[in-house]
Chains A and B, each alone.
Chain A
């Protein structure tokens, strides 16, 4: 027998197959969102929640980043 796939999780945002909470793209988006928060914190003295709102409003923000930010905002409510 071959190894049965241990996963069959589904990305909470897009429904793609994933091994974690999110698919690889949204997982990477989450990582970058966290990473860039350090820069924003330093330059704008901003908190996590406000950061997410700013990111969501910004027209340069990538769509996967926006989707993750939106998801996090919704979850925190």
Chain B
């Protein structure tokens, strides 16, 4: 008897969906390595089948090596397990008479479902239905199935298709150009990766690194002062914040210290702090970084797990909206069954009207991230943390505004020297009480002794402090995501992954992001020869067009052709510069290879590298097994180009290093105990 085929994005989602639709009578069967969940839907059988994320991708259509290349087709990804799954799904599809796409409701999910239906199920995409859901709760999944749409969401499918195709065209052609260029000068086969979003992102980091490396600190002076009013000491700020002459600062300090004056002006300001909007993915990533120090990709992974266990709604959203149709009261009531939320919940419900504060940002497919009220039975410590953050933020949106009172007194001494004293008091804590574990400046500071106009004031302390201008801050992953959002680089779902890739490829390192030598070299080359690829302009314009496809305002083929038109001349121009690029690449490769000087002569398992001391900034040769397995090191001259010579030391057999500085060139053995030492070979 024919059955229905329901395609899901991954195994865990398939299981949730199967049990939500089929109740307790789900039969899990393995079919050639593929888990299939058989369910009964009102007398009709259905096979709920998972994908493993993308099973298909873009690949070259023609045969052989050509450049530039724009001719692509969609084909099974080269992954044995995925290919086996495709075969199994095709087999099962043969007995199906109707089809449903139940992949995540977003661009990637829609594309995953579409490619499987189209290529593995004999073009079934045209007759498939689409389930739309934002949470994996039973109720919502059942409603999504009952109200499934009678066609796939082709707008999202095409937007996703264009993204993959354009990325493929950019990536393949850039790597080919680099490899061809290297080949034209007899260089080896090295892969430098560049990407449509990756490269402009790396370029932003590169520019920041350059600014930091080129920072010259300038000296200036400030005054650090304290004023006593009504017996209470307050930090104060002199009217001149920065002095460019130490003597000027000292003069002020001398004539003010210990002087008595009075409060000349008093300004009382009330600042209203409205509740925050609910989280979208970017906001959640930033907040989790601030509060827990989690990287954006980590937060995203945790949030996705929470979503798969039906605890929260779909996290890859840009929306800051919580429509009433979500059943907000019911969600809050459900959360009230959790001990630690009981009190907050009863206070929110007491207020009666449940109107959340919302932000401006919207999303075509999903509301803001919110708890579902379903609590998973088991959560890791990290999941508990992120879950609590999401729940409290959700509560906070229902809170009242907080009111902050700022009192600013201007204290005058010597009839001309003015000091400002500022005090902040939280008068109404409002929503902050719901969000209190995560509030920046702590709880209400309590009622302070308040100063009034004309109060007497004593300048107790005025110290001159030496200061220097600072370099710009390094990006953290979370600041980088904010930058990418502002520049329209990537999408909410891809940003964290792109940053992860930069780490994996060794282009960047550290929590406070530092661009590695390799990252530098890659940008140097791209910037010189493919300026369009590092520019934010081309990439963000494309993102805009992809959004238009998603909204159904633009044709996908047209956008791909336009992207090809824009990028084609870049690649064609490159062909005429092969030798120049090749030479440069060779040089860079050599430079990078230089940093690795071969296996360590002491431990054998590590490699010798040129490293810079964090403390002194001086370079030396060290083993990369340091400090665990090996402590081999060798001092180096601080200038000149270092390489490993082809010969080994005649005396001890250790490697010999060659240093070239301008026209000078010398060699020495890296064994400090070598009998040849102090005598250059």
CB distance from A60 to the nearest CB of B (A): 4
Instruction: Spot the interface stretch: B206-214, B252-260, B345-353.
Output: B206-214
Is B414 part of the binding interface, using a Cβ–Cβ cutoff of 8 Å?
Answer: no
- Most central of B215, B246, B468, B584 by chain A CB within 10 Å: B215
- Using known A-B contacts A10-B662, A16-B591, A60-B471, determine if residue A65 contacts B215 with beta carbons closer than 8 Å: yes
Is B639 part of the binding interface, using a Cβ–Cβ cutoff of 8 Å?
Answer: yes
- The proximity string for A residues 37-77 relative to B, scoring 1 for CB distances below 8 Å and 0 otherwise, is 00110111000000000010010111111100011001000
CB distance from B376 to the nearest CB of A (A): 47
CB pair B213–A63 under 8 Å, yes or no, is yes
Instruction: List the B side residues contacting A13 at CB < 8 Å.
Output: 639
Q: Which B368-419 residues have a C-beta within 8 angstroms of A? A: none
Cβ contact of B218, chosen from A10, A40, A65, cutoff 8 A: A40
CB pair B214–A62 under 8 Å, yes or no, is yes
CB pair B220–A10 under 8 Å, yes or no, is no
Instruction: List the A side residues contacting B219 at CB < 8 Å.
Output: 39-40, 43-44
Distance in angstroms between the alpha carbons of A70 and B239 in the assembled complex:
39
CB pair A12–B661 under 8 Å, yes or no, is yes
- Using known A-B contacts A43-B220, A60-B468, A71-B639, determine if residue A29 contacts B617 with beta carbons closer than 8 Å: no
Distance in angstroms between the alpha carbons of A13 and B471 in the assembled complex:
22
- What does DSSP make chain A's interface, helix, strand, loop or mixed? helix
CB pair A62–B216 under 8 Å, yes or no, is yes
Instruction: List the A side residues contacting B579 at CB < 8 Å.
Output: 2
Q: Which residue of B lies closest to A46 (CB)?
A: B219
CB pair B216–A33 under 8 Å, yes or no, is yes
CB pair A60–B213 under 8 Å, yes or no, is no
Is B31 part of the binding interface, using a Cβ–Cβ cutoff of 8 Å?
Answer: no
Q: Which A5-42 residues have a C-beta within 8 angstroms of B? A: 5, 10, 12-13, 15-17, 25, 28-29, 32-33, 35-36, 39-40, 42
Q: Which residue of A lies closest to B220 (CB)?
A: A43
CB distance from B640 to the nearest CB of A (A): 7
Distance in angstroms between the alpha carbons of A39 and B584 in the assembled complex:
38
Distance in angstroms between the alpha carbons of A25 and B210 in the assembled complex:
8
Cβ contact of A15, chosen from B216, B245, B640, cutoff 8 A: B640
Cβ contact of A61, chosen from B217, B245, B594, B640, cutoff 8 A: B217
Q: Which residue of A lies closest to B221 (CB)?
A: A43
Q: Which B198-255 residues have a C-beta within 8 angstroms of A? A: 210, 212-220, 244-246
Closest 8 CB pairs of A and B: A15-B641, A36-B216, A62-B215, A60-B217, A62-B213, A64-B213, A62-B214, A63-B213
Given A29-B213, A63-B213, A63-B617, 18 additional A-B pairs, CB 8 A = A10-B660, A12-B662, A15-B594, A17-B584, A25-B210, A33-B216, A35-B216, A36-B218, A39-B218, A43-B244, A55-B216, A60-B215, A60-B217, A60-B470, A62-B215, A62-B216, A71-B639, A74-B638
User: Which positions in B face A, CB cutoff 8 Å?
Assistant: 210, 212-220, 244-246, 468-471, 579, 583-584, 587, 591, 594, 617, 638-642, 660-662
User: Which positions in A face B, CB cutoff 8 Å?
Assistant: 2, 5, 10, 12-13, 15-17, 25, 28-29, 32-33, 35-36, 39-40, 42-44, 55, 58, 60-66, 70-71, 74
